[in-house]
Structure 1
Amino acid sequence: MQRVFITGSTGLVGGHLLVQLYLKGSRIKALVRQQASFEQLRLISDFYAVPFQELHRAIEWTYGDTLDYVHLKEALMGTEVVYHCAGLVSFGKGQRDALLRTNVKGTANMVDAALLAGVNHFNYISSIAALGKESDTGLIDEETSREMSKPVSDYSESKFFAELEVWRGAAEGLPVSILNPGVILGPGLPDRGSLLIFNVAAKGIPFYTDSQTGYVDVRDIARAAITLVEKNLTGKRYVMVAENCHNKDLFALITNAFGKKPPLIRAGLGLLRIAVWISSLLSWFTGKPSQLSKDTLRSIAQPECYSSQRIIDELDFAFTPLQETINDTALFVKNLPKEKQKRVSQK
């Protein structure tokens, strides 16, 4: 029975990964913060028809975080495989220090603890944000160069430097693999992260932005991470994008799944800049972090297309079609208990 260690197990990716590993019979130890909520993991376990109490009893929980290296050193002893899914995702203003601390320092600590424990495989869930953007073919892949002089989001920078920590570990003898998922969709709480779009779509979306990026099913990410470990493929990163989709088309697919009208009004850069300014003003008055920033604007204004040919070729990997992901996620949201639909309108 394989001994695995997971971070971020109460999040979307980590939750799906944990349940899939449990169903495969792995012996799992999971790192969780003292104040962590198990609400999302409970919903994910229900999605897989796994009784949550049964799942919870089967996992060895260790309470702490990736910034506590002393705790990590002890927690990872005896571990064969590490899946590092924990991280901070934010494009909001004023989050740079938190992003670098959580994503870079936290990953460095995980790498050092894994080296000390003699881990056989360290799998890191990164992001397409860590990739380069200067592609001659128009498709961004694992080898696309990254122009360091060009401005990027703080989140992009944090994931790039986190990957450097993983490659440092590889240079010191740690077998590693990296997944670079696009925007992650799939069954989970609709009031968190990228799934917020389903929250909004349930009410109808009048606007769309002239942007394009890559999307992937969370179940595929978990399946790919497990397969990389099973096949012992190390030393590479793998883009995880099922389909590249224009923002307008994505919103149309999601609103259609909820029986709502598709967006018809294009939100240009001028309108987006006004939205960023209003968000910053509200942040100043309320003292709460702004949810929109120049980083948000930059990410929206750059249409990008990605290629997942490497993982398709090396693993004979078949991605879940985007339409299927959206339909499954919308159905999951619709079937949530009423108390879980806090901000999801079914009208």
Structure 2
Amino acid sequence: MKKWLFGTLAAAALVATAPVLAQDDTTLPDFIQHTACEVDLTGSEIPIQHFGDISGSYAFITQPLLAGLADAAAYFNARGGACGATLMQDNRDTGGDPGQTQAAYDYYSGLENPPDVILLYASGDAELLRDQLAEDQIPALISAGSVAGLYGEDGQTPGWIYASNPLYADQFGSFCRYVGANAEQFPDPVVGYISWPGAFGESAYTPEVMAYCAEQGVTILETPEYFPPSATDITTNVQNLVDAGANILYTNSLASGPFMVAKTIVDLGLEDSVQLAGVNWALDTSVGLLSRTVLGSDGLPAVNGIIGSLPFHWWSERELPGVA
């Protein structure tokens, strides 16, 4: 587990591609090894095809993703691309609308040359397209996903969607293991689950996770609280969980979600009695930037002290290749 000290807050990147080199240095670093090109692809393009919500509730996360893809493509293109071919983005904004997600998939899968691989953003999109991707035999990459999206309704059947970081349910279970192993810090842990409704927000709250957490000595309240990403007041949601005995609030939301929970904890004067925790996205830069508007009693942003999973390297790990 990582305890987030606001002074070390930084973005977590899906792929680290920016080594410590001068901007005009067009050589590749030693840790990137290329095989010899058998075909000269100079003059052609290789599209990175992806679609998802870049204008709705997930924009705080997905817009930096697009910027990161653009930076990565520019970096490699400046160093010869892929055997001379230029990397470029081809994407569509669905605004979080499942109908638009389906329309985007219909477009890409119906191309004369369908994608060899496609990039998705959200768990809900993965659940919607899981069977279609398998039927069309198009692999999809996603940063993380729900059990249903990756393994089907039975939770046991792998499909054509591959995630780059742990399942949200596994992250919640890992958090419970951490809490159970640190009894001095958490002597009588009772967790209230508070998140957004929908495939992403609800994906970590499963019977299997609750049973695993109980084995770790951690109680999960049986009634979760959900609030929409557009909510500006979640006092009742937080108070319901605290009144039910929660001394830890775990959120499987991102951007404004963890911020709203932290803000409400501060507003209700619960900083000394309630620990905030969350999924890896709760440690994203966007959460800290949003939290600058609300300071806790320590004078630091409300989210200071949040605990959560961090399955990425951190910007402070300067000794690692690719971390500037």
TM-score between both structures, scaled by the size of structure 1:
0.31
Give the TM-score, by structure 2 length. 0.33
Work out which of the two has the higher radius of gyration on C-alpha atoms and give 1 or 2.
2
